[in-house]
Structure 1
Amino acid sequence: MTTRGKTSPAPETDPEPNPHDIARAIVLRQLTMAPRSRRQLEDKLRAKGCDDEVARVVLDRMQEVGLVDDEAYAGMVVRSQQAGRGLARRALAQELRRKGVDDETAQEALEQIDDESERDRAQALVTKKLRSMHGLDAAVQTRRLAGMLARKGYPSALSWSVIRAAVSDAPEHQRD
């Protein structure tokens, strides 16, 4: 830009941006997309080439201000995955482990689910699935329902008791 024949100096550009600022921007971008565990954020920073010490400092600060909270994250995952996908405690524990939540924190979050609520959720899943299986043989229904509950992490004893009750109560399997 010129002013009366003089050129103004070019704005100074920082040739080497602050690595802490870069790491902070990456973390904030990740957190705006979805909640994340500390390990997920560490992995992302490592993948972006961020120094481990810089990542530790930035994540410690984010944890201090409450933006990174594995306990809250684990609780949110347990509530949403149990309600939305109908996952049992075993599958939820595996999901939390996969997302980098330590076992102690995961166990605390899983305490939200008691045996009765897990049974209720299994019954609801079986009832819903059974509606789409009308007309199939009881053995086929039982096998498919058992597979569904197993994939969702339900214990076999619980699965079989819920399935037996639901299939035997189905109107098509009632004896007149």
Structure 2
Amino acid sequence: MSLHEDRPAPAWAGDVSLGVDAWTRRSTASEPEAGDETRRGTSRRSSGGRRTGRRPSSRATPPPEDEATQVPHADPESVARKILLDQLTGQPRTRGELQAKLAKKLVPDDVATRLLDRFEEVGLIDDEAFARLWIGSRQPGKGLARRALAQELRRKGIDDEVAREALDEIDPADEEHAARLLVRKKLRTLSRVDDQTATRRLVGMLARKGYGSGMAFSVVRDELRSADREGPEAPGA
């Protein structure tokens, strides 16, 4: 008698497909959980030894953006208004200067034009007043003549017509007086040079200040004579 004669036959005996199913279920129950496989980077194998799972991707999924830390884009008009107010704090500016500043900050042209027009309407930008103030400080303070002042106003972005109206307010007598003061101050440093050299330097200085040759030679001649030095001959004399 066989040792196995008293052992009951399994339920799947005689049916190969049932046997395979029973073996597969036992094998599956003994394997680790799917989450453990993912963490360990392993893969399951089928009954035939083939890999049936995928190796987890090494590319991590980025976390969602935190909406609380997101900053909305600034309004271009608000940015431009702040730039203008900062520029006008403490000193006046011309429209041309402010427009160049906005362009440098990449403010859209339509926004810049709208704000500059508004600032002019309320008096925060006034090129006419700026021109008069500029002349009032540079003409007596630096002794600049009309031509030099016109060049400075043009560099400031002042319209030529606006500048001309402001320059016409300069009294010719004040302009000549400013030239004489410049010559007297410079002449004190030219005591050791001859009259011809002194004349050349003085006329050149006045030319750089914007004075015409006629006024320059006239003022230099008078001031040299007042200092008991020989004055120059005016051009064409």
Superposition TM-score tier, normalisation by shorter sequence: 0.7 to 0.9
Q: Determine whether 1:145 maps to 2:209.
A: no
Q: Which residue of 2 aligns with 1:130?
A: 187
Q: Which residue of 2 aligns with 1:34?
A: 91
Show the 5 A alignment for 1:78-97: 78-97=135-154
For 2:159 and 2:108, the matched residues in 1 are separated by 23
For residue 69 of structure 1, what is the amino acid of its counterpart?
D
SS at match of 1:132: coil
What are the superposed Cα offsets for residues 80-127 of structure 1, whole Å, 9 maximum, x if unpaired? 111221110011011111111001100111022121111111011111
Q: Which residue of 2 aligns with 1:118?
A: 175
Whose RCO is larger (CA < 8 A, sep 6+)?
1
Q: Which residue of 1 aligns with 2:119?
A: 62
What RMSD over aligned residues (CA atoms) do the two structures have, in Å? 1.7
Higher mean C-alpha displacement, 24-33 vs 153-162: 24-33
For 1:34 and 1:118, the matched residues in 2 are separated by 26
For residue 139 of structure 2, what is the amino acid of its counterpart?
Q
For 2:145 and 2:172, the matched residues in 1 are separated by 10
Higher mean C-alpha displacement, 13-22 vs 101-110: 13-22
Higher mean C-alpha displacement, 145-154 vs 129-138: 129-138
Unaligned regions of 5+ residues in structure 1, if any? 1-8
In the superposition, the TM-score normalised over structure 1's length comes to 0.87
SS at match of 1:154: coil
Q: Percent identity?
A: 52
Stretches (4+) displaced over 2 A? none
Unaligned regions of 5+ residues in structure 2, if any? 1-66, 231-237
Structure exhibiting the larger radius of gyration computed from Cα positions: 2
- Which is helix-richer, 1 or 2? 1
Q: Which residue of 1 aligns with 2:226?
A: 169
For 1:136 and 1:36, the matched residues in 2 are separated by 44
Q: Determine whether 1:45 maps to 2:105.
A: no
For 2:172 and 2:225, the matched residues in 1 are separated by 23
> Across the two proteins, how many residue pairs are aligned to each other?
164
Q: Determine whether 1:155 maps to 2:196.
A: no
